[in-house]
Amino acid sequence: MTSVKAPKPVWDTGREIMLIECFQENPFLWDNTNGNYFKKNMRNTKLQELCQNLGFAKNGIMFTEDDVKMKWKILRGSFVRELKKVETVGRISASGSGQMYASHSRWQHFDRLAFLRDYLRPRNSWSSDERFHQDSDGSPVATPETRPALRTCRRDSVMNPQFVQQLGVGTRWQFGDVLGLEPELLLMVPRPVVAALLLFPVSEKYETYRQEEEERLEADGYSPPKHLYFVKQTIENACGTIGLIHAIGNNKNIDFAENSALKLFLDSTVGMTPEERGRQLEKDTSIRASHESSAQEGQTEAPSLDKKVDLHFVAFVNVDGVLYELDGRKPFPIAHGNTSEDALLEDATAVFRQYMQRDPEELRFTVIALSAVS
């Protein structure tokens, strides 16, 4: 028997405006830098109130909280696309091409959603000071340094420009947050993307999956290529640094400054085993000092490399046309199928979604891309 989907309420302009005004007046519904964002009862109460105010749609269907969340996601996505068009037109106009373009979006809700501009600003490149996080409904929300330190300290200390500069990575390469996993948001990431990193919560569900995955691959006789640069994590809180090393160490096109601490480490450990590289990292005073001092530029304190935390970094790279996941807590890199330079981020996104699906109640996922900037 074929199942029949329940009818959905039909949105009209007036109700869309009502929703936008509600979300603007109550930023805790979507902005997790707001002190009330994690008060689920408060959020649910406000959403229920909004549904009551929306009443019945023209087709007689009552609006639900899921309807409201989905409409917000759609409106936000539309705003992102329109904002990208407007800023692209501005850059073209400024280039003096002589062609005439519309200087403003004609979409009816563009001005109403202008309060999102500071949170969702597409650009050719970005600094690591711009923070974004993905909400439970898929909406990207700002996550600046004011978020709780447990959730950002490792990400901030490892990916801020000062740390990368101290390691001697060429200025052409930058780490930046990915605003969301929708195709239109992935298109906003500067290209080429040579690596992607996922910051995620280490939950019981994940640990169970990790053990099952390891047992399955070993039973199948899986063996990754020996030339992959892989480091075993032997320091409690070094997963961000190791993720950075995996991202850069498996990309031959990365350039370095003279006397780069990271380049020296990579060159001196190229013939070592993953375990030996991990022990060598323990002894590397230059990289450790850079890690511990990297928060001086920001507002949060970088954690000690020995402090226990519950978030973890993994890196995804393209080596010989295969997408590999490199996690220092695992015994070996994991292959996730074919990829290419142009498709690395999109292919990695499919794996990121699997992580999120395993822990649907978790909000603490952040995606970071290593890109070349103009």
pLDDT recorded at residue 126: 29
pLDDT recorded at residue 165: 86
3-class secondary structure, 324: strand
Give the least confident one: 21-25, 308-312, 335-339. Answer: 308-312
Average pLDDT over residues 216-234: 95
Per residue in 190-209, pLDDT (tens digit) is 999 999 999 999 999 999 99
pLDDT recorded at residue 158: 57
Percent of the chain with pLDDT over 90: 49
Q: Is 143 exposed, middle or buried (0-12, 13-18, 19+ CB in 10 A)?
A: buried
What lies within 8 Å, CB to CB, of 274 at 6+ separation is: 230, 231, 232, 332
> What's the CA gap between 77 and 80, in Å, rounded?
5
Average pLDDT over residues 218-224: 94
- Asked whether residue 278 carries a pLDDT value surpassing 90, the answer given is yes
Q: Is 133 exposed, middle or buried (0-12, 13-18, 19+ CB in 10 A)?
A: buried
For residues 204 and 157, the model is more confident at: 204
Question: Residues spanned by CATH 3.40.532.10 within the chain?
Answer: 132-372
Instruction: Give me the torsion for CA of 19, 24, 29, 33, rounded to 10°.
Output: 160
pLDDT recorded at residue 58: 79
Task: Provide CATH code, domain 132-372.
Answer: 3.40.532.10
> What's the CA gap between 176 and 373, in Å, rounded?
10
Average pLDDT over residues 299-307: 45
How high is the mean pLDDT of the chain?
Answer: 80
Q: Within 10 A of 359 (CB to CB), how many other CB atoms are there?
A: 18
- Asked whether residue 92 carries a pLDDT value surpassing 90, the answer given is no
> What's the CA gap between 294 and 288, in Å, rounded?
10
Catalytic residues: 239, 312
What the block records as the tokens of 55 is: 């009443």
Average pLDDT over residues 209-215: 94
Per residue in 112-156, pLDDT (tens digit) is 998 887 665 433 332 333 333 334 343 433 333 332 222 333 555
Query: Residue 193 corresponds to which amino acid?
Result: V
The CA-atom distances, in angstroms, between 246 and each of 56, 221, 289, 323 are 53, 24, 19, 13
pLDDT recorded at residue 24: 93
Average pLDDT over residues 74-101: 61
> What's the CA gap between 314 and 201, in Å, rounded?
11
109: Cα within 13 Å, side-chain hemisphere: 23
> What's the CA gap between 266 and 318, in Å, rounded?
18
For residues 37 and 6, the model is more confident at: 37
> What's the CA gap between 298 and 224, in Å, rounded?
38
DSSP output for 38-71: T-HHHHHHHHHHHHHHH-B-TTSPBP-HHHHHHH
pTM for this model (two decimals): 0.61
> What's the CA gap between 77 and 82, in Å, rounded?
9
Pure H helices in 95-136 = none
pLDDT recorded at residue 325: 98
Q: Check: CB of residue 277 under 8 Å from CB of residue 231.
A: yes
> What's the CA gap between 78 and 119, in Å, rounded?
14
